[in-house]
Amino acid sequence: MKVCDHFKAANGETLISFEILPPLKGGKIQSIFDTLDPLMEFNPPFIDVTYHREEFVYQKRKSGYYEKVATRKRPGTVGICAAIMNRYGIDAVPHLICGGFSVEETEDALIDLKFLGIDNVLVLRGDARKFEGKFIPEDNGHAYALDLVKQVQGMNDGVYLDDNLVNGSPSDFCIAVAGYPEKHFEAPNFDSDMEFLKAKIDAGADYIVTQMFFNNAKYFDFVDKCKAAGINVPIVPGLKPITKKYQLNSIPRLFHLDIPEDLSKAIANAGDAAARQEVGVEWCIAQSKELKAAGVPCLHYYTMGDVQTIKQIVESVY
């Protein structure tokens, strides 16, 4: 079932969903089940699975020189989605990125998803690879998520890349895209970022999932600005608790967002790991309750390998 139809069927109730990462290469599918089993009591209608582009690493050769080698650390997104649907009978949303794919490879990937009965995709550009200063698309790949949305929507309209192909069977993907309450870090200003977000919706995207944020006012402001720009699709808040001291620096560095002073001081001044955990959990519970009371379509939690913390939060919200 399409996520947009889950929103419609919920009839104004706030749904709950989770995002998980594939295990490191060589890991077991059981690790995914161990993450998700404890969360199934909350009846998530869908689970997102991230996609990880290949990275460059430097390996030392016998000669002493270093060799730059491409490696994919977390493969398996599509297989995990199929396994989730099979085991739990719920929907899975694979993330699909521009990085590392030519348009032909993207088309083949979409055909695989269609044949597997996967009705949903979260369409993204992807970040720059490590050791590359900026995002570099493949030759004949997409430079922006907008172009990838257009390709998915094209297939939904029965348009394939091969001009000679007539009567190609249309897909029926529900398309999600990313939105940034605190602006995407490369955008010169908020209005420009909003313009491209609107273009993704106009090109066929059905709903938006936001980058994490720690101040709900930023989400509410973002929703207002989206409405003012003529964006009327569901906007799903992405949530993650901060429970460790190092995250006060790593989260802003990795995700380009602000941590409110009250939260950063409370974490920094907490006496020990257990106290920090409590501060972060309570903050996320308060955020979740306020968002739910405001009638958001869904609370979407980034599990990032810490399922017990997420479970503790959701138990208090539902």
**Residues of this chain that bind ligand FAD (CB under 6 A):** 50-51, 53, 95, 97, 124-127, 144-146, 178, 184, 186-187, 192-193, 196, 209, 211, 238
Nearest distance from C-beta of residue 63 to ligand FAD, angstroms: 34
Query: Nearer to ligand FAD by C-beta: 225 or 245?
Result: 225
Selection from 95, 100, 154 nearest residue 120 by Cα = 95
Longest dimension (CA), the chain: 67
Rounded to the nearest 5 degrees, what angle is found at the Cα of 139, between the Cα atoms of 157 and 115?
35
Query: Nearer to ligand FAD by C-beta: 2 or 74?
Result: 74
Query: Nearer to ligand FAD by C-beta: 33 or 196?
Result: 196
Query: Nearer to ligand FAD by C-beta: 129 or 245?
Result: 129
Nearest distance from C-beta of residue 74 to ligand FAD, angstroms: 10
The answer to whether 101 and 53 are in contact (CB under 8 A) is: no
Nearest distance from C-beta of residue 146 to ligand FAD, angstroms: 5
Selection from 192, 190, 251, 254 nearest residue 222 by Cα = 190
Question: How far apart are the C-alpha atoms of 185 and 150, rounded to whole Å?
Answer: 23
CA 226 vs. chain centroid, Å, equals 19
Nearest distance from C-beta of residue 266 to ligand FAD, angstroms: 25
Query: Nearer to ligand FAD by C-beta: 42 or 213?
Result: 213
CA 248 vs. chain centroid, Å, equals 21
